[in-house]
């Protein structure tokens, strides 16, 4: 177990490439990753920074969403986790850790590409938790496309619905429940600032998320609602073996300044900061967590 709070060489803190070849069908699972990812199961310690808060986290079954769910639960927030129905096993395991400090955890499976489900998701969250003041949008897709010849309109339309449209749908549905002091957090990517050619469709959505965050922060400022985002670099999550070919998996994260991918737990505190009142004068910002690699 890595001690999150003990100073150490960040370049050697977690596994470095080369990694074993591994592929999974979409959407992937944490249980088949080699090496296993660290979501803070054993290492994240809460300090009551989100006590009494009510959070909806999309993509909350695995990867970054799992790490955020564990951190929020241990910081005192009750959480509702959204995920695809086929990710039920991962979600149930996440709920076990997120609730181990006494937080209430509600599991709400469903597809963010369905507009009607987004409104249903918000209402189910409010009913289960008794309110909503943290909307954390992490769930997304990342198809790899080798060239423009392989561009598929149907795939791109679904990508836009999941990664971008859902931000509008969820925020519209949540707005009437959010009171002054509430926080909305989005998830962009280094790809939104420094795009890779084989991830151009994904990069377009992540750039859009960063701009959505800036604009929505201004729109909701008069309501006392903050809107911020996080832009991760390469992180070791099921999104990789389910979306990236083996030749890239083996050297995944080597391009980062640290020479390794990040572990989901290394993002937890950023989301906690943006959800808490510690960031009360911060809105419209996207914090890059990229292992030292510049975003511009």
Active site residues: 202
Q: Angle at Cα 196 formed by Cα 192 and Cα 202, nearest 5°? A: 50
Cβ(196)–Cβ(204) below 8 Å: no
Element (H, E) at 80: strand 78-83
| Cβ–Cβ < 8 Å for 228, 213 | yes
Helix/strand/coil for 254? coil
Q: How far apart are CA 25 and CA 243, in angstroms?
A: 8
Give counts: helices (H), strands (E), the chain: 9, 7
Residue keyed to tokens 């080699």: 34
Burial of 248 (0-12, 13-18, 19+ CB in 10 A): middle
Neighbours of 127 (CB within 10 A): 11
Buried b (16+ CB within 10 A) or exposed e, 59-82: bbbbbbbbbbbbbbbbbbbbbbbb
Instruction: Kindly compute the dihedral angle of the four CA atoms of residues 215, 226, 118, 188, in this order, to the nearest 10 degrees.
Output: 60
Cβ neighbours of residue 272 closer than 8 Å, sequence gap 6 or more: 49, 50, 68, 71, 72, 75
């Amino acid at each position: 177990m890595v001690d999150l709070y003990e100073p150490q060489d960040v370049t050697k803190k977690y596994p470095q490439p080369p990694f074993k070849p591994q592929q999974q069908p979409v959407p992937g699972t944490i249980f088949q990753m080699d090496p296993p990812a660290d979501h803070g199961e054993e290492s994240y310690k809460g300090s009551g920074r989100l006590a009494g808060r009510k959070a909806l986290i999309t993509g909350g079954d695995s990867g970054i969403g799992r790490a955020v769910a564990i951190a929020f639960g241990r910081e005192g927030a009750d959480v509702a986790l959204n995920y695809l129905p086929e990710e039920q096993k991962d979600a149930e395991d996440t709920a076990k850790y997120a609730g181990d400090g006494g937080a209430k955890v509600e599991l709400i499976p469903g597809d963010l590409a369905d507009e009607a489900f987004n409104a249903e998701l918000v209402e189910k969250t409010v009913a289960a938790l008794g309110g909503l003041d943290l909307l954390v949008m992490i769930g997304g897709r990342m198809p790899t496309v080798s060239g423009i010849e392989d561009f598929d309109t149907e795939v791109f339309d679904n990508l836009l619905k999941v990664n971008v449209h859902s931000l509008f749908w969820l925020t519209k549905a949540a707005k009437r429940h959010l009171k002054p002091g509430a926080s909305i957090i989005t998830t962009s990517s280094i790809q939104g600032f420094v795009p890779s050619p084989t991830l151009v469709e994904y990069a377009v959505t992540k750039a859009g998320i960063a701009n959505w965050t800036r604009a929505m922060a201004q729109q909701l400022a008069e309501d006392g609602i903050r809107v911020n985002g996080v832009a991760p670099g390469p992180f070791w999550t099921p999104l990789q073996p389910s979306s990236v070919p083996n030749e890239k998996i083996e050297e995944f994260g080597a391009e980062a300044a640290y020479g390794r991918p990040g572990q989901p737990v290394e993002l937890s505190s950023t989301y906690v900061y943006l959800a808490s009142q510690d960031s009360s004068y911060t809105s419209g910002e996207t914090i890059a967590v990229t292992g030292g690699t510049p975003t511009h």
